[in-house]
Amino acid sequence: MEHLLVAIDQGETKTDVIVLKCSGEICAYVTDKDFRNSMANFDNNRYLFIYHSIQQAILEIHSSLDNVVYILAAMCGADWQEDFVNMQNTLAKTLLFPKEKIIIVNDCIAALRAGIPFRRDNDNYAVICAGTRLNCSLWSKDDMKYTYGRFINIEDHGAYAIGQHIWSGIIDSYNGFQSSTILEAKLLQFYNKKSLADLYASFTCNNIVFNPSKFAHLLVEAIKCNDKVSINIMNTIAHRWVQYIVRGLSKVALTHESKFTVILTGGVLQNYESPFIERIKYELKNYCPNATCVVASLKPVVG
């Protein structure tokens, strides 16, 4: 059997695994999204998700891990050197695979590579990776790199942040601090509840787990209805996300006038492409007139 590579992209929502030949030909692709729905806790089960996905992918091509020469894993939460070591050791133990043949990177780096599969050495790049959480990275043509990792404020984290803003916007509207919003009706419909009080009671009594990322998609639905509160939420979030790129330029010796490409990727930006993408482009041009935005066409696992 020809030697194989295994590539992993794991975020809080799903794990993607591809098995490919060393020539680059993809042999199998597996995602654990359906399997994961039966398991509540990500942190306690993340390596089980990887094991399950790899075994399924290997089985599809009637092969085994004995034919795999390297495992390349892009992992959310791989931010400190200690994380890389711990993840490498745990994956090796879980998969019964040599740890020296496991390479760990932050999932943001894989997302950037997927957006620029044919990266040119004389170009500067940045990436906004917005999934359940958020990460941003910058990479200069002089090979200077900076990834925010743990220094992303919790209030800016991808679908989680969108959901939190939705909930806060609904409460503010309910209390008369701002105009009414269609988000309330959409959220009640999503959870099949008759009133906001009924829904709030279900959250606080733990009859329903309060997970803001679950209803983040409602924002785009409301924006399409020209809901003012929703548009303001989108504008606020887009501004904050762009600021991570703007404030990070100096860390890779770039300026506001530098030419660079921003890769937009992750479930939020790829699935909510309109109107979030246009707002991010607008915000970026206000600060960096020579920057260009590109929506990644490939899944991060390919990177």
pTM summary value: 0.81
Q: Identify the domain containing residue 279 by its residue range.
A: 108-296
Tokens for 76?
A: 């959310």
Q: Identify whether 160 is part of a domain.
A: yes
Q: Identify whether 302 is part of a domain.
A: no
Low pLDDT (below 70) residues in the chain: 1, 37-40, 115-122, 272-273, 298, 300-303
pLDDT the model gives residue 117:
56
pLDDT the model gives residue 112:
72
Q: Identify whether 301 is part of a domain.
A: no
Question: How far is residue 299 from each of residues 110, 127, 238, 270, 276, measured CA to CA in Å?
Answer: 9, 14, 22, 10, 19
Q: Identify whether 76 is part of a domain.
A: yes
pLDDT the model gives residue 300:
64
pLDDT the model gives residue 12:
79
Tokens for 29?
A: 């692709």
pLDDT the model gives residue 270:
76
Task: Let me know whether 251 and 132 are in one domain.
Answer: yes
Q: Is 113 exposed, middle or buried (0-12, 13-18, 19+ CB in 10 A)?
A: buried
Last residue of a domain, one of 76, 97, 118: 97
Task: Let me know whether 192 and 277 are in one domain.
Answer: yes
The secondary structure of the chain in percent helix, strand, coil, rounded to multiples of 5, reads 50, 20, 30
Is the Cα dihedral 154, 134, 209, 195 positive or negative?
Answer: positive
Q: Identify whether 303 is part of a domain.
A: no
Q: Identify whether 102 is part of a domain.
A: no
